[in-house]
Amino acid sequence: MSLLTVGLDLTVLNVAVPTLAVDLGATTTQLQWFGNAYTLALAALLLPAGLLGDRFGPKKLLLGALVVFGLASLGCAYADSPGELIAARVVLGVGAAFLIPLSLSLLNILFPPEERAKALTTWVMAMFLGIPLGPLLGGWLLDHFAWGSVFLVNVPLTVVGVVAVLCLVPLTRGSGQGGIDFTGIALSAAGLVALTYGFVHAGEHGWADPVTYGLIALGAALVAVFCWTQTRVAAPLTDLALFREPRFVWGAVLATMASFALMGLLFVLPQLFQAVQGADALQTGIRLLPLIGGMLVAAKIAERLVAVLGVRVVVTGGFVLLAAGLAWGSTTSPSDGYGATAGWEVVIGLGTGCTLPPLMTMAMGALTEGRSGAGSALIQVLRQVGGTIGVAVLGTVLNGVYRDGVAVDGLPAPVADVVRGSASGAVAVAEKLHLPALAASARAAFTDGMAATLWVCAGLGVAAAALALLFLPGRDPAGAQPRESEHDVVAI
């Protein structure tokens, strides 16, 4: 349940942005930082969190992370100014950074090898279901309660998480080996923050901005230095030897490619529903249900298919489904109703459910428990950065096609800037000025941009299918199971 809240907090804030702008008097920059603060804190601390879990055992750290996450949620809910909310979102990201790898590493402790694939499927779906459920839950809460409710919903879930950890998770000693690589922590945190924010900045300000290139170059350089130092310290922050394990490498790489496509899709779908099809926040969340349903059904079926056909066949087929659904989505026109959209949502959901859970199971199967925290953190870092890059790159494609296609002839310069800024802004201007031709132009330009975006995602899906076919193992149930635990259980 706590993992569900982490996924929710990645997207639930989106529907509250207009309300926050009014109630807190937030500027556009501050509104952007409400989301960026959480994302950057998450990126900075994932690797140290995984290492600390391996060194000292996950139970106590997980309890602390849950408490921090719950208290930060209260801080967000009762923030009186933009600065307070940004600070609370940073702390929320810190809690989430520990929750993700520590909860994943617990699977090797709580479940025997024959049950870990099913447990990991549940973990993956809890994390990913929170992302599309965020707009649905946020829209309903904002219709009935104050904006703080989108954060207060985390509190009872974290309380349940604390009770569950206390009652169900055994206390383990951890490896207790080696010191703490403070240089590695600083380099990885700075590098991942710079790299992540570089792509966030690209999505907000475009690729022509020199700050974008500067941040990405700085981040890449720091990450390169970090990797170099990891081969020369006695107690490295992350085990680069994992990259010599093919199941880990290809599981992580292909899961990152799937995350790229999924986050790009979740970037364009809400805009399609609201700007083109006229849905409100709650209706937008409801219209994502076919995607969620497809993911749930496929994840359940994929678990059984992998045992019969092997991970190569299932994941390759999943990426083919994903690419087919994305290509189908690219044919959407402004006049299409929701029924047409729901069809390709289901196909994409089926493809996602057949790729992410088996890939995560395979990657985690390459880890002993002594490396499960650091290994799971490394997977999450790759997926986090991949998703951020996906939104930035695909947002650039969408905006480029949209701005070239929307008609702004005859509009005053300030109005034209609003129209070029987004399809939602253009439709709002068109309704205010009673310009139906402008609204039609904006909707057509947006669907053209969405088509280009989905074609990029579909191409990525085809490439991923080819890689899966070439490099994933065939039918080998034993090889897909996580290895036995190396830590000693000392108490409950």
pLDDT tens digits for range 167-188: 887 776 655 555 678 888 899 8
What pLDDT sits at residue 491? 35
Q: What pLDDT, on a 0 to 100 scale, did the predictor assign at position 331?
A: 95
Tell the residue number behind the tokens 């129209």, with chain if given: 419
Residue 284's pLDDT is 80
**Among the ranges 18-32, 128-142, 228-242, which has the highest mean pLDDT value?**
228-242
Residue 478 pLDDT level (bands cut at 50, 70, 90): very low
- Report residue 198 as tokens: 């570089």
Provide CB contacts within 8 A for 146, sequence distance 6+. none
What share of the chain in percent tops pLDDT 90? 32
What pLDDT, on a 0 to 100 scale, did the predictor assign at position 47?
Answer: 84
Q: Specify whether the CB–CB gap between 161 and 16 falls below 8 A.
A: no
pLDDT for the residue numbered 476: 59
pLDDT band for position 377 (cuts 50, 70, 90): confident
How many C-beta atoms surround the C-beta of residue 424 within 10 A?
15
Is residue 371's pLDDT more than 70?
no
Q: List all residues 6 or more positions away from 80 whose beta carbon is below 8 Å from its beta carbon.
A: 24
Pick from 63-67, 139-143, 457-461: least confident: 139-143
Per-residue DSSP letter, 447: H
Q: 346 versus 60: which is more confidently predicted?
A: 346
Per-residue confidence (pLDDT) for residue 199, from 0 to 100: 83
Banded model confidence at residue 102, pLDDT cuts 50, 70, 90: confident
Q: What is the pLDDT of residue 352?
A: 92
Decide: pTM greater than 0.85. no
CB 47 within 8 A of CB 374: yes
| Alpha-carbon distance values, 89 to 16, 37, 81, 416 (Å) | 14, 6, 12, 34
CATH topology of domain 2-180+235-491: Growth Hormone; Chain: A; (1.20.1250)
Residues 6+ apart with CB under 8 A from 104: 120, 123, 364, 372, 376, 380
Mean pLDDT of the chain: 84
Say which amino acid occupies 486. Answer: E
φ and ψ of 491, to 5 deg? -165, 165
Q: What pLDDT sits at residue 174?
A: 56
